[in-house]
Structure 1
Amino acid sequence: MASITHHWIKKLSESRKPAYLLIPELIEDDLANGRLRPRDRLPGLRDLAEELQLNYTTVARAYAEARKRGLLDSHAGSGTFVRGRTATLPLAGGSSVEMTMNMPPEPAEFASRLRESSARLMASSDPYRLLRYQDFGGSSEDRAAATQWLKRRFTDCDEDKVLVCPGIHGALVALVSQLARPGGTICLDTLAYPGIKAIAAQLGVRLQALARDDEGPLAHAFEALCKTEKPSAFYINPTIQNPSTVTLSSKRREALADVALRYSVPIIEDDAYGLLPEAPPEAFAALAPDLTYYVTGFSKTFGAGLRVAYIRAPNTRRAQHLAGALRATTVMASPFTVLLATQWVIDGTASDMLAAIRAESNARQATASRVLSDRPFDADRDGFHLWLPVPRETGWQASELAMQLRTRGIGAVSAAAFATDGNPPEAVRVCLGGPKTLGECEDALRMIADTLEHPHHLHSPVM
């Protein structure tokens, strides 16, 4: 153990991170590289404080943090022992079941088609053309494909209003910077995509949460805000919302669009999941076309690596202004990924892939309904995440549950990451798309159900 503490002394002296947070990371690193093994005994608090030349309180906090992360167990009278990570479910590309990032399932039957299509495209393309600067907003062919794709949601979609850009997040950065000055206000749901929170903070834009009910933001709350201060924009994720899974009804959409029209408030419609349902309600872009910036893309529904998004602006002039903002923030979309997206829209691969992802999502949601039948949760059968309330009687807080699930190899995100009003509900978001197979998804869901059922696992030793 002396060699371990000598190694820690060096790391502590080189890092600016507080020692009570760094020590748990050192324990985890040493478990990964074999310096420590499960059931190894660690020095007592006073001995370790003396060895590391730290005060007793700092070491006590470090051990407490390590216990919270599931790395240590303490037994009265016998000491502190390394617990280590519990066995994780295998997943290609990682050592745990990734259920934190909201990514789609990967239909196995499509792998060969995507591989062959990509190879044909690359073989027939001029590589130097793909390495050059491109027409910003996409070539005529790219924008035609984008327009074809967007017309699945609404008909008022002329090519000169459409821009191709590198991912939805980049599109939102440009939109927020274009519509809201520093100190301005964007109103939105009390639960929202964490990216919009990060973008607003980076650009100095204030987010104003609107009161909601089970159907989403309330129109009268939106109107009350418009009467007191005109917001710079209204941001909404209306279909299979991240994280609540709510799809706004046609009636609620019409009421919110009516307020925006009466007070001339631009709408940012983040419809990342809008094409997953076969018959979603009418888009805001159809209800308020002269105010709505409609955004969708492939990274949220096909895979994070296909970072291509489409924006439909209210008119040609605003599309041109937005193009300038996009060019300043992202320069251009990658010609390689845009080539794939355009070809897959044209030849029907995108439509077929969407149908396959929808079918796989239906199967995983059915599995979740069966495994979690004793626990109420919110989900959409065509979506690939669920919203799981954590009632007080379970013995868990949402943040503790998410942390404990990580120690068991399951990724989940607590509601605090999504709250825009500072008052998160006790709930976690679980993504069903991360596990490689339906069987792995079921195993992960059973582990979540087991953890909910047995809160004492938080302190139980691994034997």
Structure 2
Amino acid sequence: MARSDETLQWIRQLDPSAGPRYLQIVELIAEAVANGTLRPGDRLPPQRQFAKLVDVDLTTVTRAYAEARHRNLLDAVTGRGSFISTRKEQSGPLIDLSMNIPPPPKGIRLAEVMQRGITEVLARSSADLLMTYHVGAGSLADRAAGCAWLEPVLGRIGPARLLVTPGAQPALAALVSLHAKPGEAVLVEALAYPGLLAAVRLAGLRPVPVATDEEGLLPGALEQAIDESGAKLLCVTPTIQNPTTATMQPARRDEIVRIARARHLRIIEDDPYSLLAGDAPPPLAALAPERTYHVATLSKVLTPGLRTAFVVLPPDENRDPLVAILRSIALMPAPLMTALATHWIRIGAAGDLLDGVRREAAARQDLARSILPASARHHPNGLHIWQPLPAHWDRYRLVEAVRQEGLGVTPSDAFSVEGEAPDAVRISLGGVPERGRLAHALKTLAAIMDNERSQHQGIV
């Protein structure tokens, strides 16, 4: 057993609505390890006893213990039982804090929602039709669903202004290709989404960084960058910016729009997080619809597997040139996934999933605030944290140090436009399925950052 019978208090009844029971047992173990109730070398109850304690069958516990061993939480000793692992994994990141994806929402079994949704889609649509080519801006039904989905952010818009695309990345690549010629400058935040930078460079364009503060783009820096570069295109994320988490307040957005109008600047607004934020100010596309292209993906608020995003065009914009470029990049969105997204929006399942993701993201942000240094920058409902490093760490040594502890984080260099980057890392909270493992990872990371001796240690 563990150190005393009191340690059995970490075992609690399972929640029938919280997903597979064997995974709930794994999370119980991970949470107990993270909070110190269970320590390396402690023995878990025999499987039959554990099954009685949580009122499940033996096979569920057997599967849970096997999964815990797979995750290096447990060691099994023949004839003696299962023990909390004393091993350190050093072969690469086992706990991924580098991938910005939505966390699995509590109480929603995504596999069941998907299975039910696809069954309902197939009952209403021809499988042959879903498996053939769909070229264009998306069906009227799909575009109408996109308009309904974005109404809380943009207000009412007509389907003629909206395109369905296979994710935000092809949309960004098509938009920068449409509005700038090779060799021309494109204005971006000084630390920007790597996918955007890749799209700009692949198109033969020149990304020009614009300085920011805790609220996002600095208006004076934007004007200076326009004067120096001659750029006519700005790509920006005003809400929960990736990676810094900055969110522009209304006055700052108004000033950016004023400058854009005065300098005849077109805007590509990458907006993956406004629906997740819940309290974001009006987007630039609502303030300056005549010059703004609004890109909203489902990947960050529902699930990346849908591979569905929406592009809202300025009023009266001819969509054909953009559709042609999108077709050359990705041909079309996956019809089955688009149909599933449309169905979920129509019946309210997408809204339920969004609410669940938002609640889980908020819970994980609360957890991170209780563990990480006060210098961390975050949004209450965001998927990531921007963590400036203490003076005794540089980002290269920190990334290597956490890798040796089985963690993966993203250094600031991945977001830098011109190669100069601060000593900081982005910490993503959604990629770890269980909060217990996430807590353990964050505590490990916080302890490493707090290690004052690190400045005297070299990385071999």
Same fold by TM-score, threshold 0.5 exceeded?
Answer: yes
Show the counterpart of 2:227.
Answer: 227
Is 2:439 the partner of 1:434?
no
| Candidates 99, 102, 120, aligned match of 2:100 | 102
Show the counterpart of 2:261.
Answer: 261
Distance (whole Å) between structure 1 residues aligned to residue 411 and residue 190 of structure 2: 14
Contact 1:415–1:425 under 8 Å retained in 2: yes
Unpaired segments of 5 or more residues in structure 2? 1-86
Distance (whole Å) between structure 2 residues aligned to residue 218 and residue 460 of structure 1: 38
Contact 1:266–1:292 under 8 Å retained in 2: yes
Contact 1:103–1:303 under 8 Å retained in 2: yes
Show the counterpart of 1:163.
Answer: 163
Contact 1:156–1:286 under 8 Å retained in 2: no
Unpaired segments of 5 or more residues in structure 1? 1-84
Q: CA deviation at 1:369?
A: 0.9
Q: CA deviation at 1:453?
A: 2.3
Distance (whole Å) between structure 2 residues aligned to residue 310 and residue 88 of structure 1: 41
**Structure 1, residues 53-79: CA drift from partner, whole Å, max 9, x if none?**
xxxxxxxxxxxxxxxxxxxxxxxxxxx
Distance (whole Å) between structure 1 residues aligned to residue 451 and residue 225 of structure 2: 44
| Candidates 83, 86, 89, aligned match of 1:87 | 89
Are the structure 2 counterparts of residues 188 and 272 from structure 1 closer, same or farther at C-alpha, using a change threshold of 3 Å? same
Show the counterpart of 2:345.
Answer: 345
Q: CA deviation at 1:86?
A: 2.6
Q: Which residue identity is paired with 2:206?
A: R
SS of match in other structure, 2:439: helix
Percent identity over the alignment?
34
Contact 1:88–1:97 under 8 Å retained in 2: no
**Structure 1, residues 104-141: CA drift from partner, whole Å, max 9, x if none?**
10114222333322333235432110111114111010
Is 2:398 the partner of 1:396?
no
Contact 1:156–1:289 under 8 Å retained in 2: no
Distance (whole Å) between structure 1 residues aligned to residue 166 and residue 221 of structure 2: 34
TM score, norm. by length of structure 1: 0.76
Q: CA deviation at 1:176?
A: 0.8
Contact 1:193–1:242 under 8 Å retained in 2: yes
Show the counterpart of 1:64.
Answer: none
Distance (whole Å) between structure 2 residues aligned to residue 402 and residue 345 of structure 1: 40
Show the counterpart of 1:76.
Answer: none
**Structure 1, residues 409-444: CA drift from partner, whole Å, max 9, x if none?**
211001011111332111000001011111111111
Distance (whole Å) between structure 2 residues aligned to residue 402 and residue 339 of structure 1: 41
Contact 2:187–2:209 under 8 Å retained in 1: yes
Are the structure 2 counterparts of residues 320 and 460 from structure 1 closer, same or farther at C-alpha, using a change threshold of 3 Å? closer
Show the counterpart of 1:321.
Answer: 321
SS of match in other structure, 1:294: strand
Runs of 4+ displaced beyond 6 Å: 457-461
Distance (whole Å) between structure 2 residues aligned to residue 244 and residue 460 of structure 1: 28
Q: Which residue identity is paired with 1:190?
A: A
**Structure 1, residues 387-426: CA drift from partner, whole Å, max 9, x if none?**
111122xx32112212221222211001011111332111
Contact 2:147–2:162 under 8 Å retained in 1: yes
SS of match in other structure, 1:342: helix
Is 2:330 the partner of 1:335?
no
Distance (whole Å) between structure 2 residues aligned to residue 460 and residue 238 of structure 1: 39
Are the structure 2 counterparts of residues 262 and 96 from structure 1 closer, same or farther at C-alpha, using a change threshold of 3 Å? same
Show the counterpart of 1:443.
Answer: 440
Q: CA deviation at 1:318?
A: 3.4
Q: Which residue identity is paired with 1:413?
A: T
Show the counterpart of 2:180.
Answer: 180
Contact 2:274–2:280 under 8 Å retained in 1: yes
Q: CA deviation at 1:459?
A: 6.2
Distance (whole Å) between structure 1 residues aligned to residue 116 and residue 148 of structure 2: 23
Contact 2:147–2:156 under 8 Å retained in 1: no
Show the counterpart of 1:11.
Answer: none
